[in-house]
Structure 1
Amino acid sequence: NKFNKRMVIYETSDQATLSSRDAVYFLLVHLCTKISEVSFRIKMPLDDFGTRCSVLLATGVGLASATGYGLYKYLANYWDNQPPQKWRQVGELADLYIYPIKSCGAIRVSHMDCTIIGPKLGLLRDRIFMVTRTDGTYICARTFPKLLLIQPSFDEQYEQMTLSAPGMPDIIVPVADLFSVDPVKAWVWGQPVTATDCSEELARWISRFVLNEESGLRLVFYPLDIPTRPVRERQHVKLTARDTGALHNSTSFMLLTEASVGDLNRRLQKPVTAQQFRPNFVVKGPGAFEEDDWKWIKIGETVYRNVKPCNRCSVITVDPETGIRSNENEPMKTLKTFRMKPGLETPVMGMQMGIRTEGTVRLGNAVYVGY
């Protein structure tokens, strides 16, 4: 029991501190304990000494083999999740973006704090708001492309948000007040999330712009500082519950390179911008799609793990400047010709990351890859 409790503590702690020596020690102690338990539980005549020895030996060998394999798997996973000691520079940060509302406009920033909940500056945080139906299910630009035309902005202290949209009066969102509002039911991809409702006034504003109606939609807010949802895409074994962010689809950080966008544009009749793919980090310097093979990334004070490729949905076919969907289904159509990956139904563009060391990043920061 002491062994099990201690291993649980190590496996669930934010920072893994178990050394390989400790792991070997604990597993060997566990092995010996199990062998002893089995030997005492074997019910045989006392005079059948040879049989008892054979059974105990076989049991010990079997348990040792099983424990050895478990030790191998545990240590392999442990070392695979330790940041490397050697890094090489591959480029620098060209752009930084925070998207306060899912499926709505971006705010370009010169620096940001990178935390377990995602990028933030004061009360400006990434994917911390979302638009929902009245039953709490979220909606996105795949179904309502006009959402992309809602442009959030913050004051200089990053304490108050203002929403703007074509043909609509600006409206203020008192972010600080939303932390103390009673929670409401809300869901992201069928998973319940903690949320607070922003107000009837904001609900009418959103409904009028998106639906041309007086009701039907709500704006909700995520008031917590930690992720609370389990991993939804379990096929990505590096993706953990600590990577799921606030109201993000998969992870709280997404990186894209300028060269990857440039390579795609050479195949398109009408070029697109990086903004069409909604990244947090845009990196200049690396070759096209080199980010596919990066394992560890260091930017400024922060360290990230590449946990999954960013497989794309139809939002990328909507021009974020106009809110109009491509009649040719581009750039999705072209991406499908050369960016499909085994096991995925949609093409890949960029990578999604889990943060392992928090800190601040700034435009122009060098970007390093671990090896």
Structure 2
Amino acid sequence: MSASLTLTGLYLYPVKSLGGYAVTEADVTTRGLRHDRRWLLVDERNRFLTQRQRPELALLTVAPAHNGFLISHRQRPELLPLFIPFAATPERTLFVTIWDDLTWAWRAAPEADEWLTEALGYPCRLVYMSDMVRRAVDPELNPEDQLVSFADSYPFLLIGEAALADLNTRLAEPVPMNRFRPNLVFSGGQPYDDDAWENFQIGDVPFRAVRGCGRCVLTTIDQQTARKSPAGDPLRTLATYRKAQNGTLFGQHLTGAPSGRLRVGDAVTVLSRK
């Protein structure tokens, strides 16, 4: 079975909860794909902002640029795109809160905060996670002492195309993969077969499937319009057949090697099952 599994998508989200973009190759690092979720928006109290509370964040698109990326507003073309480098400088430091974690971060340039505040209509700050920050994955499920960026809980999220196809057969209106914001997408195999994976590799890079990803209201937000589904889908439908102890599951949280390189088209090989 493993020979028929193929990596078909690689996605980066440089700023947590803003738009992402596809790449054909990506480097694996100790805290996820290089450049993934290293930036974060925080409010005036330095608490993290996501589409859960602020669905309008979906209207901020991100596109690759030389040594960084461009942020644009889907509905406000008069705002010229904002360039953000892949890394910040340690000129201004503050402590930020993401979930139950308190960590320090470097602030972006003042003009970035000004642009984002204007684009969103409320005060916010953009901050960066330095390589010196050690935000650890849940120790109970992290024997390798893995780190994570500003992602919710784990360095990587994997979803199979077959799982999305199965979900869409159950929905009145199909949804695209971007509702679930994966880093890694693969083709082949049966829907949800990855529930049983433990150790596997993509190309020659090893990964471990830690747990299923419990989904939230973000999946109900159209990433083009920032509108929420009035029916609560796809979350409502997922809950009818993918409910488990730790939530409504879709996709797998992963930990991985400290280094490596992934390419679209790499073979996915399952080495052991739970």
Matched residue, 2:257: 356
Check conservation: 2:213, 2:249, Cα contact below 8 A.
yes
Q: 1:92 to 1:280 in 2, by over 3 A?
A: same
Once the two structures are aligned, what percentage of the paired residues are identical?
27
Amino acid corresponding to residue 194 of structure 2 in structure 1: E
For CA contacts below 8 A with separation 6 or more, give which structure has more relative contact order: 2
Instruction: Please show how residues 313-328 of structure 1 align to structure 2 within 5 Å.
Output: 313-328=216-231
Structure 2: 5+ residue runs without aligned partners? none
2:11/2:184 contact within 8 Å kept: yes
Distance, in Å, in 2 between the alignment partners of 1:135 and 1:336 is 34
Q: Distance in 2 between matches of 1:352 and 1:90?
A: 21
Partner Cα separation in structure 1 for residue 219 and residue 22 of structure 2: 19
| C-alpha distance in 1 between matches for 2:209 and 2:242 | 18
Q: Which residue number corresponds to residue 228 of structure 1?
A: 134
Residue deviations 1:182-217, cap 9 Å, x none?
32111110311221111222112212222x24xx21
Query: Aligned pairs, how many?
Result: 269
Matches within 5 A, 1:1-371: 88-120=2-34, 125-155=35-65, 157=66, 159-165=67-73, 166-167=75-76, 168-176=79-87, 178-210=88-120, 212-213=121-122, 216-224=123-131, 228-232=134-138, 237-240=140-143, 242-341=145-244, 343-344=245-246, 346-356=247-257, 358-371=259-272
* Alpha-carbon shift at residue 161 of structure 1 (Å): 2.1
Deviation at 1:287, TM superposition (A): 0.8
How much does 1:283 deviate? 0.4
Query: Which amino acid letter does the alignment assign opposite residue 114 of structure 2?
Result: R
Q: Could you list the per-position Cα deviations for residues 28-86 of structure 1 after superposition, in whole angstroms to 9, with x for gaps in the alignment?
A: xxxxxxxxxxxxxxxxxxxxxxxxxxxxxxxxxxxxxxxxxxxxxxxxxxxxxxxxxxx
User: Which runs of 4 or more aligned residues in structure 1 lie more than 2 Å from their structure 2 counterparts after TM superposition?
Assistant: 87-90, 179-182, 229-232, 237-244
Q: Given the superposition, is the C-alpha separation of residues 244 and 327 from structure 1 closer, same or farther in structure 2, using an over 3 Å criterion?
A: farther
Cα distance change on mapping 1:361 and 1:268 into 2, 3 Å: same
Rounded to whole Å, the distance in 1 between the matches of 2:96 and 2:253 is 24
Output the amino acid matched with 2:184.
F
Q: Which has the larger displacement, 244-253 or 274-283?
A: 244-253
- Give the Cα separation in 2 of the matches to 1:90 and 1:194: 43
| CA drift at 1:239 | 3.0
TM-score (norm 2): 0.92
Equivalents in 2 of 1:272, 1:175: separation in Å? 30
* Cα contact 2:168–2:175 (8 A) shared by 1: yes
1:296 Cα deviation after fit: 0.8
Residue 161 of structure 1 contacts residue 172 of structure 1 at CA under 8 Å; is this kept in 2?
yes
* Cα root mean square deviation, aligned: 1.8
Alpha-carbon deviations, 1:99-123, whole Å to 9, x = none?
1011010110000011112102xxx
What is the DSSP-based 3-state SS (H/G/I as helix, E as strand, rest coil) of the residue aligned with 2:243? coil
Using structure 1 for the length normalisation, give the TM-score: 0.69
* Preserved CA contact (<8 Å) 2:7 2:185: yes
C-alpha separation between the residues in 2 aligned to 1:205 and 1:319?
Answer: 23
TM-aligned CA deviation for residue 240 of structure 1: 4.7
1: CA distance, partners of 2:7 / 2:254: 16
